[in-house]
């Protein structure tokens, strides 16, 4: 009798667990159950987006003439390097592939600068470079803000949503600073 009761209880417990998983609306939740497809997609797309920011920040450190350009490049490189590591850690914990870095990775992904945008920056000099870099960075940051706002609405992983909020606040402030400094 106890064996039947235990088997019935175990079956009910398994059914409740399975029902809970299917009711979440997730088709392929991460292994930890801490996030959903939106959280995964955000990290997998934001990592290359941030890597591209690092790419143009390196150009600014080399070619920039305005203190704002050089300071912004240094600041944003430090912030986004730390965020890349954080997102990569989440992806690894969810047993999901971390996007590989590399020059010009992900240019065809939505929100990314084109190869032509990067080439134009590489060919610009002096004050022209500074102005082009600020304009290009603001455009790039706006795309990152849109990505972050999207995951705030559709994500489930609280840490991802918190990072997204930091990105929105930080990048909107940086866009405002750039816009105010531009002629």
User: Are 133 and 149 found together in one domain?
Assistant: yes
Q: How far apart are CA 48 and CA 54, in angstroms?
A: 10
User: Are 102 and 175 found together in one domain?
Assistant: yes
Q: Can you say whether residue 64 is alpha, beta or left, with left for phi > 0 and alpha for psi between -120 and 50 degrees?
A: beta
Q: Per the structure, how many domains does the chain have?
A: 2
Model pLDDT, residue 10: 35
**Contact by Cβ (8 Å): 94, 42:** no
User: Are 123 and 38 found together in one domain?
Assistant: yes
3-state secondary structure of 61: helix
CATH, residue 118: 1.20.1260.10
User: Are 3 and 86 found together in one domain?
Assistant: no
- Print the domain residue range for 13: 1-30
User: Cα angle at 111 between 105 and 112, to 5 degrees?
Assistant: 30
User: Are 7 and 67 found together in one domain?
Assistant: no
User: Are 55 and 81 found together in one domain?
Assistant: yes
User: Are 46 and 62 found together in one domain?
Assistant: yes
Model pLDDT, residue 102: 58
User: Are 2 and 52 found together in one domain?
Assistant: no
- Spell out the residues 6+ positions from residue 151 whose beta carbon is closer than 8 angstroms to its own: 38, 39, 41, 42, 160, 161, 164
User: Are 120 and 130 found together in one domain?
Assistant: yes
Model pLDDT, residue 105: 57
Model pLDDT, residue 106: 58
The model's pLDDT over 124-162, given as tens digits with 9 standing for 90+, comes to 999 999 999 999 999 999 999 999 999 999 999 999 999
The verdict on pTM exceeding 0.95 is no
Tallying the residues shown for the chain, one arrives at 183
pLDDT band at 21 (very low <50, low <70, confident <90, very high): very low
User: Are 15 and 44 found together in one domain?
Assistant: no
The model's pLDDT over 31-77, given as tens digits with 9 standing for 90+, comes to 345 789 999 999 999 999 999 999 999 999 999 999 999 999 999 99
Model pLDDT, residue 16: 30
Q: How far apart are CA 124 and CA 68, in angstroms?
A: 17
User: Are 62 and 149 found together in one domain?
Assistant: yes
Q: Which residue has the higher pLDDT, 181 or 60?
A: 60
Q: State the chain's mean pLDDT as an integer.
A: 83
User: Are 107 and 159 found together in one domain?
Assistant: yes
Model pLDDT, residue 101: 74
């Amino acid at each position: 009798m106890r064996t039947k009761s235990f088997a019935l209880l175990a079956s009910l417990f398994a059914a409740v667990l399975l029902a809970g998983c299917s009711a979440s609306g997730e088709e392929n939740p991460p292994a930890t159950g801490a996030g959903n497809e939106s959280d995964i997609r955000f990290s997998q797309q934001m990592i290359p987006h941030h890597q591209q920011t690092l790419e143009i920040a390196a150009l600014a450190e080399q070619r920039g003439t305005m203190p704002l350009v050089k300071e912004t490049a240094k600041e944003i490189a430090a912030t986004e390097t730390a965020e890349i590591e954080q997102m990569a850690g989440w992806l690894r914990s969810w047993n999901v592939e971390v996007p590989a870095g590399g020059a010009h990775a992900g240019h065809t992904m939505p929100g990314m600068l084109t190869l032509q945008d990067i080439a134009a920056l590489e060919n610009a000099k002096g004050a022209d470079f500074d102005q082009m870099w600020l304009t290009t960075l603001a455009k790039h940051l706006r795309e990152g803000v849109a990505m972050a706002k999207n995951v705030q609405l559709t994500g489930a992983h609280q840490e991802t949503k918190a990072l997204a909020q930091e990105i929105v606040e930080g990048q909107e402030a940086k866009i405002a600073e750039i816009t105010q400094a531009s002629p």
